[in-house]
Structure 1
Amino acid sequence: MKKIQPKEGESADIVSENIERLKELFPEAFSESGVNFDVLHQLLGDAKVLDEGEEKYGLNWHGKKRARQIALTPSTGTLLPCPEESINWDTTKNLFIEGDNLEVLKLLQKSYANKVKMIYIDPPYNTGKEFIYPDKFQENLDTYLKYTGQVDDEGMKFSSNTESTGRKHTNWLSMMYPRLKLAKQLLSQEGVIFITIDDNEVATLRQVCDEIFGEENFVTSIVWQKKVSPSNDATWFSSDHDHILVYAKNKLIWRPFKLPMNERQKSNYTNPDNDPRGNWNSATYTCNKDSDERPNLYYPLVNPNTGQDVWPKKTAVWKYSREVSQKHAEENIIYWGKDGTSNSPRLKKFLSKAKGVVPRTVWLYSDVGHTQEATKVLSELIDDIKFDTPKPVRLIEHMLRISTGGDSEEIVLDFFAGSASTAHAILNINANEGSNRRFIMVQLPELLESESYRSIADIGKRRVKEAGKKITNENPDATFDQGFKVFKLSSSNIQAWNPDRQDLEQSLLSQQEHLIEGRSENDILYELLLKRGVDLAVPIESREVLGKNIYSIGYGVLFACLDESINKDQVEEIGQSIVEWHRELAPSSDTHVFFRDSAFSDDVSKTNMAAILEQSGITHVRSL
């Protein structure tokens, strides 16, 4: 039985994965001693990899190298399950995670890499006011644990006032860079990220995203009209809009879904000629090419009302070939004006055949909501709270319609969740459309001076609960997942080897139990899911054998018996029970089985358990 190693208690090792990819592409650049960079440069083409030093183009700041390294450093934390704070724990596939999003994004890598369809974030705008997530949070998990009161500390308070530090852009960039780097890894090839930002950092954010996602994957910058009325006390201009940057994981693959028409757009369709096919709109029949460029599109159309040949202008020929125009004429969808004699025909487009409209880059508050609406919606759900700058539910629904089809369990991630507007939008759109998008919300439990709520994360959880109730009351026949599993970032359940050099004997004795005292079987199970790359929403079943709980995770992907004591007389029955359950499900040679290392009374019992399982084809037997 193989013992789990300390490295296996970490999140995905992105550096190692990058090296393996390079080995696959350029095996000749690797040897036993490491990477031969001269060979690698030659294979890439020297002209393309030359570093031009200070004159090279790109965004640089003091601390960028450190920020990049932080993204590559694995996390040794875990996510502790909190069923008592959750809704529909056993059935829901939605997640609400409390914790520093840098650590959480690392922990999600193995389970959700390349699986997220859409990311929306509303990060701090860096306006000069305080924002949490300072540099200290990037050092290690201990800082976060002290801040959240999980380990003792004397009044630890974290904030980063960018004006007083004199590093306005530097602190913000060092905070954003590693998080965006990790977020990209989670996006699927068909995935897209939306980021709201204002004028303070939009230019900087654009450069960061160009570097991380690739300039070629920039889709657009949207202008969102966020205010109903101007700010007349503004010194220069009233700031009435925010920007929404849109980047695809792979722009060659990603395409936006067309949007349903609103009532204003539908009103553009009329039926002036009483066409039995219903209301229609018309489009120009010419294009912007001239007769020299497209001689095949320069030909006459016959007006059926006058019998005359109608030629296009030589500077703007017909949009369609002769064959297509003939088909249009036969279908009677060429419109010749009110009196039927126009020399500028148009093509009829029927409302009944309209497939939606292409998204535009200006989003009016009448279509997607504004900040006042967002505040009102939140206060109607939770009347005992004041929350700054929530985003409108309709704004995020608009993004969801553009980037997700709703016909499969598409995962949507928001790792600056705030008051959880994104989760609210997903519940709402799922209930109204009968779809089943899933959400993962991540929010730092930033402490509040409030009698009702300890942290911002508490506000987010309360909002999702209340939103689910309200939507259900308004849509009693709707079937949608209104639940969510709550997890909280903490240190690993597996003890790290940290010997006392002055008392090695005591250190060895204390390491006999490899799991943290006081952690539940549930805590350990979910760390196993994270470390093995299993979706945290998979079903977990349990059976009792000889008073011990045996767990099957994800229909037999993992089995575990985490009881603190398995004596030699119990080994045979527990082992055979796992074997039989494994056979009932989909037998797989890749199935893993876990036990506590300290549970076995002796090494013989441990060896016998491994032999029973391995004889039945279960070769991955591990001890914790």
Structure 2
Amino acid sequence: MEKIQSISPDGTEANISRIAEWFPATVTEAFDKDGTVRLAVDFDLLRQELSDHIVDGPQERYILNWPGKRSATLAANAPIAKTLRPVRDDSVDFDNTKNIFIEGDNLDALKLLQESYLGKVKLIYIDPPYNTGNDFVYDDDFAETGAEYLERSGQTSDAGERLVANLDSNGRFHSDWLSMMYSRLKLARPLLTDDGIIAISIDDNEVARLSQMLDEIFGSDNRIAQVVVQANKGGRDYLPLAQTHEYLLIYGRTARTGIYDLPRDVSALPLADAFGPYEARELRNRNPKFNRGNRPNLFYPFYINPELVDEHGYAAVSLEPRDGYRIETVPLNSQGVESCWRWGREKAAGAIVTNDPSESQLVARQVRSGSWNVYEKHRPTTQKAKTIWDETEVRTEAGTREVRELFNGAVFDHPKPVDLLKKLISISTTPESLVLDFFAGSGSTAHAVMSLNHQDGGHRRFITVQLNEPCGEGSVAAERGFTNIAEIGRQRLRLAGSSIGSAGKSEDIGFRSLRIDSSSFADVVRAPNQTDQLDLGSLTQSIQSDRSDEDLLFEVILDAGLELSLPIKRESIQGVDVLSIDDDALICCFATDLTLDVMKEIASREPIRVVFRDDAFVSDAARINVDQVFRELSPNTDVKAI
């Protein structure tokens, strides 16, 4: 019996638990003064998490470490002055779709998504570069020179030093790959729901180091599985052993992770009776921890009538000895030791409805040893996913075939199969979930989301991110007119959506195309969230001249922490264009000739937030008048100016 504690709770342990929730990488093990191992905080790592510069500290720890790890943490935490610009011409059903396609560096994208999608993503799936020796960007089979990548992505110093691109000959071959993954995975974790899942495709080259990294970022207790996927049945015969497999590393955001069973084709069950197909499932509890001693209520006899047998050879059973029911059986394991049943007597009684074994849901059968076992007629409609996926549909060749059929020819090497990702999405999402892929490649994940929605009637949404990685000169993709991988991804979604939508169902087969770009505000020091006082006369025009009102709108949406897929309504108020988001959750008016009457009409709608251009007000007095209008007509509205 547990005794009541006469002391107050340990505040230190509680504080460490709180730190572990927010910064799991900083919690380690250490000896206390009595020599007992306890959880402790690595204050050097905690200082780094809270610092805007690299913090020096001890070099030796029992952790996964590499040169550049602190810089990767700094890169994850460093702010950026970038935004997302809408590209309507590259989109499909821009005004109605809930799906998002982002073109640009995924590190930037993850930072831009933090406020709008914090704790909202049910599944993150990525297929990152496997670090097999080429210069890497974001896909296993596409490469460019280090100089081209660094120049295009702005990741070179003033001296032109190479900062990110990785070569097989580089002495920090693994370190640079780890740094690239570490910063992105740290940013990915907060986006997951409490029961969210991250799944990563990888091969033997980096699986061990990636596992350690995920243990650190997500916690080893939150590891769900390391799934073996048969990617190539014939194997890669240039290796000492013909390698046929890859891996899916699956981790949960917290211990409350939601993993769901797969649907099962009941028609494939081996047996059938008047009620339909079934499989015979032994009623004895096979867990060796459970037995008559600790589960006495689950130990009782059944009585078997060997004369009443159905077409499959299963005999009728009873809970009471009576005419014909002359064979008694109790739950014994293979060594004859008493165990117990899985069901209690009351549940068993409810399953024995008649003397006819073809109608009863509990039956018995004699086994080779001569003893009798009791079986439940199990009719499963679902089944647990296993840790080896070897179906024909999950092999890489299936993904290659799918893309070739869509494009009437090859444009992308070794895309992941849609059925592989549908299986993953099925066990890790609900019909309303949000799925994120920030190493999108040709767009297999987004394609799988649309396909699964079509199959089961779900309304899952996707956010997919792909760098505008150039198609190599002379490549098949380039010859077919594609300049970069992002273009291939968008075209695949158009073709896949058209194919799915042709069946006539009303479903979301579109996407909003957004592109990462520099901030729309020329003076990046003055960010939108620093300009919420309309009466600050010192503010000056800071909007870049090439930006449209929709460009400004999406930067405001990001600043407000709103989802990028919310409906946008454009309307005219007294001849002035106004943009309303999600039924006036946000109203933006970027006109430069606002009148007090326009302000009053906007205020009368009582929006949650409203944003104007600062240069729309001709004087300080005009700003004061607007402030007064909202105080009177809509005092709860958050009013800002840019």
Same fold by TM (over 0.5)?
A: yes
Counterpart of 2:183? 178
Q: 1:147, 1:157 within 8 Å by CA — same for their partners in 2?
A: no
Q: State the alpha-carbon separation in 2 of the partners of residues 364 and 191 from structure 1.
A: 25
1:545 shift after superposition: 2.7
Is structure 2 residue 595 aligned with structure 1 residue 557? Answer: no
**How many residues are matched?**
544
1:220 shift after superposition: 0.7
Match among 476, 480, 485 for residue 512 of structure 2: 485
1:342 shift after superposition: 6.9
Deviation per residue, 1:451-486 (Å, 9 max, x gap): 41111000000000000111223x23x221011000
Q: State the alpha-carbon separation in 2 of the partners of residues 617 and 519 from structure 1.
A: 30
Q: Secondary structure at the match of 1:108?
A: helix
Residues 222 and 158 of structure 1: CA distance in aligned 2, closer, same or farther (over 3 Å): same
The 5 A counterparts of 1:410-429 are 410-429=433-452
Q: Secondary structure at the match of 1:164?
A: coil
1:109 shift after superposition: 0.7
Q: 1:71, 1:178 within 8 Å by CA — same for their partners in 2?
A: yes
Q: State the alpha-carbon separation in 1 of the partners of residues 350 and 132 from structure 2.
A: 59
Q: State the alpha-carbon separation in 1 of the partners of residues 372 and 339 from structure 2.
A: 11
Q: State the alpha-carbon separation in 2 of the partners of residues 391 and 553 from structure 1.
A: 36
Q: 1:162, 1:171 within 8 Å by CA — same for their partners in 2?
A: no
1:60 shift after superposition: 0.6
Range with bigger deviation, 158-167 or 98-107: 158-167
Q: State the alpha-carbon separation in 1 of the partners of residues 375 and 524 from structure 2.
A: 75
Q: 2:298, 2:345 within 8 Å by CA — same for their partners in 1?
A: yes
Which structure would you say has the larger RCO, counting Cα contacts within 8 Å and 6 or more residues apart? 1
Residues 184 and 463 of structure 1: CA distance in aligned 2, closer, same or farther (over 3 Å): same
Residues 324 and 318 of structure 1: CA distance in aligned 2, closer, same or farther (over 3 Å): farther
Is structure 2 residue 337 aligned with structure 1 residue 315? Answer: yes
Range with bigger deviation, 302-311 or 447-456: 302-311
Q: 2:232, 2:396 within 8 Å by CA — same for their partners in 1?
A: yes
Which structure is higher in helix share? 1
Q: State the alpha-carbon separation in 2 of the partners of residues 245 and 150 from structure 1.
A: 30
Q: 1:563, 1:596 within 8 Å by CA — same for their partners in 2?
A: yes
The 5 A counterparts of 1:146-545 are 147=152, 160-231=165-236, 233-251=237-255, 253-262=256-265, 266-271=267-272, 275-288=273-286, 289=288, 290-305=291-306, 306-313=325-332, 314-319=336-341, 320-330=343-353, 332-337=360-365, 343-351=371-379, 354-366=380-392, 368-383=393-408, 385-406=410-431, 408=432, 410-448=433-471, 449=473, 450-451=478-479, 452-473=481-502, 475-476=503-504, 478-496=505-523, 512-545=540-573
Match among 612, 615, 625 for residue 608 of structure 1: 625
Deviation per residue, 1:168-203 (Å, 9 max, x gap): 210011000011111111001121111110001111
Q: State the alpha-carbon separation in 1 of the partners of residues 634 and 564 from structure 2.
A: 26
Is structure 2 residue 104 aligned with structure 1 residue 99? Answer: yes
- Counterpart of 1:490 in structure 2: which amino acid? D
Q: State the alpha-carbon separation in 2 of the partners of residues 551 and 482 from structure 1.
A: 25
1:280 shift after superposition: 1.5
- Counterpart of 2:597 in structure 1: which amino acid? E
Counterpart of 1:13? none
Q: State the alpha-carbon separation in 2 of the partners of residues 287 and 455 from structure 1.
A: 58
Q: 2:197, 2:250 within 8 Å by CA — same for their partners in 1?
A: yes
1:344 shift after superposition: 2.6
Q: 1:218, 1:247 within 8 Å by CA — same for their partners in 2?
A: yes
Counterpart of 1:623? 641
Deviation per residue, 1:302-350 (Å, 9 max, x gap): 11444222233242523233333333334722222289x9733232334
Q: TM-score, normalised by structure 1?
A: 0.80
Residues 24 and 227 of structure 1: CA distance in aligned 2, closer, same or farther (over 3 Å): closer
**Structure 2 stretches of 5 or more lacking a match?**
1-13, 20-31, 44-57, 140-147, 307-324, 355-359, 527-536
Q: State the alpha-carbon separation in 1 of the partners of residues 338 and 241 from structure 2.
A: 42
Q: 1:123, 1:196 within 8 Å by CA — same for their partners in 2?
A: yes
Counterpart of 1:574? 598
Residues 133 and 372 of structure 1: CA distance in aligned 2, closer, same or farther (over 3 Å): closer
Root-mean-square deviation (CA), in Å?
A: 3.3
- Counterpart of 1:49 in structure 2: which amino acid? A
1:404 shift after superposition: 1.4
Q: Secondary structure at the match of 1:205?
A: helix
Residues 465 and 178 of structure 1: CA distance in aligned 2, closer, same or farther (over 3 Å): same
Q: State the alpha-carbon separation in 2 of the partners of residues 330 and 284 from structure 1.
A: 19
1:596 shift after superposition: 1.0
- Counterpart of 2:626 in structure 1: which amino acid? M
Counterpart of 2:128? 123
Q: Percent identity?
A: 35
Deviation per residue, 1:22-64 (Å, 9 max, x gap): 89979xxxxxxxxxxxxxx99xx99532659666321011111
1:557 shift after superposition: 1.5
Q: TM-score, normalised by structure 2?
A: 0.78
Q: 1:258, 1:355 within 8 Å by CA — same for their partners in 2?
A: no
